[in-house]
Amino acid sequence: MTYDDYYQDDYYNGRIAAIEEQTSQAAVANATSITASGTTAQIVGFDSGGNPAPKNVAGDSNGAGLAFSGDTLTATLPQGLKAADSPTFVGLTLTTLLVGSGGVTIKKVASGTISAVNPGSIAAQTRGSVDATLTGVAAGDIVILAPPDALDSGLAYVGNRVTAGNTVRIYLANVTAGAIDDSARDWDYLWIDIT
């Protein structure tokens, strides 16, 4: 090989390296803008034709793992619920809710009013009860009751229990020296369905 051959070989190899470097720089320069917002950002990637294109990177504040799905790199773990920076849910409906490991499953929480609960006459210094209808409730469910403001002042609400399907037994104590026959009154309830 002559000196001219070596010179031309070096020249062409150098020229090819320079073109490759320019092409690499152009690829980055030609990519559209790279942005970041909240827990979402973009990185430079390439489309199926090898052209530079931004790729979305979606993460969460818990540092979840990321994985590509098409052109989008997405967090592979769900957003955790925390005291601060939690996602806001509007109109969220859960079919069931399990609170804690080994806890009970809550199927539904409902509230409303049980109308016209009439305990009848309760003798002095005794506890009486009255059964009230709450459609859908079953033995084992939890019902929290709020007694009416107008409940006779000699009667004390002392608890309740779901005794059968659709039936809540309300217990009242007469703390006076005489019998009390209160009127029919409306009671507010919160029903936690766990059966």
Quote the CA–CA distance of 27 and 64 in Å, as a whole number.
Answer: 30
Quote the CA–CA distance of 7 and 18 in Å, as a whole number.
Answer: 16
In angstroms, what CA-CA distances link 118 with 63, 121, 131, 189?
Answer: 58, 9, 9, 16
Tell me what pLDDT residue 29 has.
47
Tell me what pLDDT residue 193 has.
96
Domain spans of the chain?
Answer: 35-79, 97-193
Tell me what pLDDT residue 21 has.
56
User: Which of 134, 82, 86, 81 lies closest to 112 in space, CA to CA?
Assistant: 134
Q: Tell me, yes or no, if the pTM score tops 0.75.
A: no
Tell me what pLDDT residue 96 has.
84
User: Which of 160, 114, 159, 164 lies closest to 139 in space, CA to CA?
Assistant: 164
Quote the CA–CA distance of 145 and 187 in Å, as a whole number.
Answer: 7
Quote the CA–CA distance of 162 and 143 in Å, as a whole number.
Answer: 7
Judged by DSSP in three states, 15 sits in helix
Query: How would CATH label the architecture of 97-193?
Result: Beta Barrel (2.40)
> What does each of the 195 residues of the chain score in pLDDT, given as a tens digit?
555 555 555 555 656 665 555 554 444 444 555 555 555 556 666 677 777 776 666 555 555 555 556 666 555 555 555 555 556 666 777 788 887 777 889 999 999 999 999 999 999 999 999 999 999 999 999 999 999 999 999 999 999 999 999 999 999 999 999 999 999 999 999 999 999
In angstroms, what CA-CA distances link 135 with 130, 138, 189?
Answer: 16, 9, 12
